[in-house]
Amino acid sequence: MPVLSHPFLRDGIEARGYQIAATQACIRCSTLLVMPTGFGKTAVQWNCIADALDSGVEKIVITAPTVGLVEQQRRMILERLRIDAECVRTYTGSDRPAKRGDIWNEGTIIIATPQVIRNDVDSGLIHLNNVGLLIIDEAHHAKGNHATAQVADRYRSQASEPWLVAATASPGSTQNAIRQLWDRLNVNRIFVAKREDDLLKPYAVDMNIATIRVMLDAKTLALLEPLEAHQFEETDALKRQGFLAPTGHLTAGLIEEAAQRASIAISRNDPRGYDAARRISDVRRMHMLLDLLKTQGLRSARSYLERADEQLREGERSTSRFLKKQVVHNFRQTVQGMDECHPKPAYVRQLVQEHLEKHPDERILIFSEYRDTVDHLVDDLNQVPNAVVDRFIGQSKRGKREGMSQKQQLEQLERFRNGEMNVLVATSVGEEGLDVPSASMVLFYEPVSSAIRTIQRRGRTARERSGSVHVLVANDTRDVHVLHASRNREKRMHSVLGRMRLETPLGSYKVRKEGKLLEFSIVEGETNQPALEFLEQEKVRLKSIEKESQNKSEANSNKKQKGNSTIAPTLHTRSRSQKSLFDFGEDSNDPWDPVLDGRGINRR
């Protein structure tokens, strides 16, 4: 196996042509790096850090959106770079301001959350003038008033010789969103790597994908009927009054627009606005109750109403009005003591049990939008033989329910990574960037509509071999609309990136160096060759392999037409010398697959 050699890189890092090409682009000038999950954006960051250290850069800053990612970056840097541990420091809100000043002065590589960097720059505690390289991980956050974007602003204004590398798998689903991102970062160029590229194809890992559509049972449908009838009456009244748009499918966005119209009416002293505002408040709560009952289950819907009781005790009048509705009262009386009747929890238990029976040493990652569902799934799955289950949720407090502290989050991830538990049930806080090396199955309790969030969910675990993903979709519910929206946004992202990959934005950063990669070389056996020479050879070699593969595919296709079956391609196994992020895709009848999923898809 060819390995990458550099004075500041440890031995054993596999040399990959596409990563060398990305490194060449990034060290030449400030770059927005867009690379599919599972292909090692982090390895390109290591290479840039090595080049910066070799160039005598005084300080390097890496920002990551969560403390978990900050700790992960430090661990991986110490594993891959030849640098003293004392020189690599984390810099987060858990450190006292007085201590942060010392950390900043003593560290060569500072790995930080962007909020802390922004706040300390603004307070004058630190200055970015001596930062020779800023790496922004999960760069899709660099928009609007997000701290990531503000750190980029301050770096551009303070650094004497700014060099920025911003990395993401999901820059946005529209051309306007992606342009806004690179304008805000003010980079010189965007480097786009696609899984269809010849240099990337050999490193794709197959993923077995199953979109599981479930039918709501008769009990759930019976519970829904009176609630939906009441909701129809309320929304119909709002439509007649002109507050709610007359469309067939009610969404949270339409409800918010209706609330804005009611506010305008109230500001004009129109008495109809007050009645509309009350109706809209009730419609919003009923919309949430129905959505939970349809997509999450009876227990989550019941928990939602129990939290409403807490709000009522705290004196919230609108909650009192909603809970006193006869239809809500009747629903609560009916479901009191009723067992869960939604089919999703049973499917989750079945999938987890079957997987652990076949693969007892492997791990499973489950995502849900709601903490209530996370809690219920943890309770359910703790009854599954051989399953050691726990939750992973955010830090914020919800009513009387505490979140997880940063320390608890890190400890939980370490337990999962070390195999102390084999099933982790997470909310959206677990979606982004975290490296879980051995999870062999990921389960989405529901699809998510955001292309960025979908891609982030898919990339939550590092892979050395093929795996599986399951997406649960409740038929005739919001799940179906969300699934289609997610697919369409990913397709649009693919199309936009395909057009934009050849464009070069005119950022204010100067070209740093020619990008000849003089200190990088490739070692294989007794041979040692320059990195760029290896890159050119890889381009020729892999293009030839791709052409040969196409010829074989055509030949197999001809055989199939004659009644012979085609031969399944051999799966590529990822080298253990390089751990990166994997991806998952959605099941689809459309033969096109989204660009940012990072591996071939073996559909069920």
Structure tokens at 91: 């810099």
For position 209, what pLDDT does the model report? Answer: 76
Whole-number Å distance between alpha carbons of 506 and 186: 8
Residue 575 has pLDDT above 80, yes or no: no
Q: Which carries the bigger pLDDT value, residue 281 or residue 570?
A: 281
Q: Which carries the bigger pLDDT value, residue 194 or residue 89?
A: 89
Q: What is the DSSP string of 15-46?
A: P-HHHHHHHHHHHHS-EEEE--TTS-HHHHHH
Residue identified by tokens 């800053």 is 61
Whole-number Å distance between alpha carbons of 103 and 90: 8
Structure tokens at 449: 């509509």
For position 127, what pLDDT does the model report? Answer: 96
Q: Which amino acid is at 319?
A: T
What burial class does residue 87 get, using C-beta atoms within 10 Å of its C-beta: 0-12 exposed, 13-18 middle, 19+ buried? middle
Length of the chain measured in residues: 604
The sign of the dihedral angle between the CA atoms of 35, 36, 39, 41 is: positive
Residue 288 has pLDDT above 90, yes or no: yes
Structure tokens at 358: 């076949």
The sign of the dihedral angle between the CA atoms of 61, 65, 67, 72 is: negative
H or E stretch covering 150 = helix 147-158
pTM, whole model, 2 decimals?
Answer: 0.79
For position 508, what pLDDT does the model report? Answer: 64
- Mean of pLDDT values over 511-519: 83
For position 495, what pLDDT does the model report? Answer: 83
SS3 assignment, position 253: helix
- Mean of pLDDT values over 583-603: 37
Q: Is 35 left (phi over 0), alpha (psi -120 to 50) or beta?
A: beta
Place 444 in a pLDDT band, splitting at 50, 70 and 90.
Answer: very high
For position 594, what pLDDT does the model report? Answer: 34
Structure tokens at 58: 């005084």
- For the chain, list the domains and their CATH numbers: 3-203+496-522 (3.40.50.300), 207-215+341-493 (3.40.50.300), 218-335 (1.20.1320.20)
Number of other residues whose CB lies within 10 A of the CB of residue 471: 26
Place 428 in a pLDDT band, splitting at 50, 70 and 90.
Answer: confident
Residue 366 has pLDDT above 90, yes or no: yes
Residue 437 has pLDDT above 60, yes or no: no
Kindly list the distances between the CA atom of residue 537 and the CA atoms of 57, 449, 517, 533, 542, in Å, as whole numbers in the listed order: 31, 41, 16, 6, 9
**Which backbone phi and psi does 90 adopt, to 5 degrees?**
-90, 155
Whole-number Å distance between alpha carbons of 230 and 154: 53
Furthest CA-CA distance within the chain: 86
Task: Give the pLDDT confidence of 54-99 residue by residue, as tens digits.
Answer: 999 999 999 998 888 898 899 999 999 999 999 999 999 889 988 9
Whole-number Å distance between alpha carbons of 113 and 95: 11
Place 463 in a pLDDT band, splitting at 50, 70 and 90.
Answer: low
Whole-number Å distance between alpha carbons of 374 and 367: 8
For position 568, what pLDDT does the model report? Answer: 38
Q: What is the DSSP string of 47-82?
A: HHHHHHHHTT-SEEEEE-SSHHHHHHHHHHHHHHB-
Task: Give the pLDDT confidence of 471-485 residue by residue, as tens digits.
Answer: 999 999 999 988 888
- Mean of pLDDT values over 399-404: 79
Average pLDDT, the chain: 86
- Mean of pLDDT values over 290-319: 90
Residues 484 and 211 sit within 8 Å (Cβ to Cβ): no
Task: Give the pLDDT confidence of 3-20 residue by residue, as tens digits.
Answer: 999 999 999 999 999 999
For position 557, what pLDDT does the model report? Answer: 66
Place 317 in a pLDDT band, splitting at 50, 70 and 90.
Answer: confident
For position 472, what pLDDT does the model report? Answer: 96
For position 72, what pLDDT does the model report? Answer: 87
Place 563 in a pLDDT band, splitting at 50, 70 and 90.
Answer: low
Task: Give the pLDDT confidence of 95-150 residue by residue, as tens digits.
Answer: 998 899 999 999 999 999 999 999 999 999 999 999 999 999 999 999 999 999 99
- Mean of pLDDT values over 513-542: 91
Residue 603 has pLDDT above 50, yes or no: no
Task: Give the pLDDT confidence of 197-239 residue by residue, as tens digits.
Answer: 899 988 877 667 789 999 999 999 999 999 999 999 999 999 9
Write a three-state SS string for 291-359. HHHHHCCHHHHHHHHHHHHHHHHCCCHHHHHHHCCHHHHHHHHHHCCCCCCCHHHHHHHHHHHHHHHHC
Looking only at the bridges linking them, the beta strands covering 31-34 and 601-603 are unpaired
Place 380 in a pLDDT band, splitting at 50, 70 and 90.
Answer: very high
Q: Which of 312, 234, 318 is nearest to 276 (CA)?
A: 234
Residue 572 has pLDDT above 80, yes or no: no
Q: Which of 205, 189, 197, 195 is nearest to 169 (CA)?
A: 195
Whole-number Å distance between alpha carbons of 294 and 370: 13
